[in-house]
Structure 1
Amino acid sequence: MDKPVIILGAKGIAHPALEIFNSNQVIVYGFLDEDESLHGTEINTVSVLGHPEDDGFLKLIGKKTEAFVAVDDNKYRRFLVELLNERRKVQPINAIHESAYISTDAHLGHGNFINAQVTIGAAAEIGHHCILNTGAIIDHKAKLGDFVQIGAGTIINSEVTVEEGAFIGSGVTIVSGLTIGKNARIGAGSVVISSVGDNETVFGNPASKVK
């Protein structure tokens, strides 16, 4: 990558995103965050420059820099993605750690966070703006919709479909062929042996619906 990167967000996954770009010898120009108390501070020697809606910094994106959205909250993540789409006519780039394994025929969208030791298997499909934390396994022919979050060490087995906006905690196992519905939530450590509906929350081994 020829251009440096501006990271939108300076909390949560922002620091590991910086590490990902460092692992790939990509220069990070700086961070932008709405929390004014962070402005002028540094994360591993890289400055938090200002607010993500400041045109003085936004105008750099697309011309002199790329952008990556490092925000855990899906609602605000969507807002920042739309901001970049509308005001700068750009898509956020992917942040992929050098130690991740991605099959040669897996398909990745834009703006994904893929941390160290993540494995993405043959013919798997990853949508846009997903967060895949350390050591997650996405097995062959699994499909993740947009804005999906997968916790560290979670195993998404073959031919599982995870629909848009779903949140899957750390250390979860989802058996092959299931569907996890839109905006569903799965608690950490759960073993999921049946499909989960839209907006449902499940937890446990075996995972059951939380009312």
Structure 2
Amino acid sequence: MSRPVILLGAGGHAKVVLEILRQIKQPVLGVIDPRLKQNHIKEWQGLPILGDDSDVSLYPTDKIFLANGIGSLPGQTLRCSVYRQFKSSGYTFITLVHPTAIIAEDITLAEGVQIMAGCILGTDVQIDENTLINTGTQLDHDCKVGKHCHLAPAVVLCGNVQVEDGCHLGPSSCVVQGCHLGQGAVLGAGSTLLCDLPKGHKYLAAKSQQPTKHSQ
């Protein structure tokens, strides 16, 4: 039998992660959330509140999986830092694929990747650790996505797109075939990227036709 899961976080994204866990009938012990513990809340979505981050240490690293229920927006690092914190303590994050996702047999998903409902992943797609592929996103053949990225709902990557670590692609954005997004790049909602986007730059089609530097 698979190890039970402890869910980290109790926000909107955590609800979606919990729905996947229930769909695949993965046992869930409860929720870790500092705010709920501080407010003396005992239950969330039918699950017990197990405490804050320090309480995870009560559970042996070889007896549970963790599920990252923290969402991701540009400039926010909590999802990444929590993942790194618990990895450094020896814990393992569960990799999740929603039952409605369509994925090729030869894709590669690293630890902690989350593939949400309605996604389509083509042949030879590779996704690195703790990356979130959100609802209805499509990745065509040979796309590679790095660590700690967020591809928001309805993103489209055409063939052979390379996305480096820490990138954020906004809802309904599109990247044409062969483009490369450097580390920490941000693609705005509804944008269509026709060229490479350098490291640390953002492209917001509604405001500018030229990539601009953004603060990390």
How do 1:51-200 residues align onto structure 2 when only pairs under 5 Å count?
51-54=52-55, 57-73=56-72, 75-87=77-89, 89-200=90-201
Equivalent AA in structure 1 for residue 81 of structure 2: F
Residue 91 of structure 1, CA deviation = 2.4
1:116-165: CA deviations, max 9, x gaps?
01111100100000011100001110000001100101101110000000
RMSD of the TM alignment (CA)?
A: 1.9
**Residue 3 of structure 2 corresponds to which residue in structure 1?**
3
**SS of residue in 2 equivalent to 1:53:** helix
Where 1:13 maps in the other structure, the secondary structure is: helix
Aligned partner letter, 1:70: G
Amino acid in the other structure paired with 1:81: Y
**Mean Cα displacement is larger for which, 63-72 or 39-48?**
39-48
- How far does residue 83 in structure 1 lie from its aligned partner after superposition? 2.4
Output the CA distance in 2 between the equivalents of 1:60 and 1:44.
21
How much has 1:181 moved relative to structure 2?
1.0
Task: From the superposition, tell whether residues 153 and 5 of structure 1 become closer, same or farther in structure 2 (CA, over 3 Å).
Answer: same
Q: Which runs of 5+ in 1 are unaligned?
A: none
| Cα distance change, pair 178–15 in 1 and its aligned pair in 2 (3 A) | same
Q: Which amino acid in the other structure matches residue 18 of structure 2?
A: L
Unpaired runs of at least 5, structure 2: none
Q: CA deviation at 1:195?
A: 0.7
Structure 1 consecutive aligned stretches of length 4 or more whose deviation exceeds 3 Å: 36-39, 205-208
Q: Secondary structure at the match of 1:204?
A: coil
Q: Which residue of 1 aligns with 2:24?
A: 24
Q: Between the two proteins, what is the percent identity of the paired residues? A: 26
**Within 1, Cα distance between the matches of 2:106 and 2:183?**
25
What TM-score, normalized by structure 1, do the two folds share? 0.91
Q: Distance in 2 between matches of 1:61 and 1:209?
A: 46
Pick closer, same or farther for the CA change 1:203–1:19 going to 2, 3 Å.
same
Q: What code does the residue aligned with 1:53 have?
A: S
Asked if the contact 1:6/1:61 (under 8 Å) is kept, the reply is no
Residue pair 1:150, 1:169 contacting (<8 A) in 2 also: yes
Taking a change above 3 Å as real, the CA distance of residues 28 and 210 of structure 1, as seen in their structure-2 partners, is: same
Once the two structures are overlaid, the 10-residue window that deviates more, 69-78 or 165-174, is 69-78
TM-score, normalised relative to structure 2: 0.89
The Cα shift of 1:62 comes to 2.7
Is the Cα contact below 8 Å between 1:4 and 1:65 reproduced in 2?
Answer: yes
- Check whether the contact 1:106–1:124 (CA below 8 A) recurs between aligned residues: yes
Tell me if structure 1 keeps the 8 A contact 2:8–2:66: yes
Instruction: Indicate if the aligned counterparts of 2:109 and 2:127 stay in contact, CA closer than 8 A.
Output: yes
Output the CA distance in 1 between the equivalents of 2:25 and 2:143.
30
Which whole-Å CA distance do the structure 2 matches of 1:190 and 1:135 have between them?
16
Are the aligned partners of 2:62 and 2:91 in contact in 1 as well (CA < 8 Å)? no
- For residue 2 of structure 1, report the CA deviation from its aligned partner: 1.8
Q: What letter is aligned with 2:116? A: N
What is the CA distance between 1:33 and its match in structure 2?
1.5
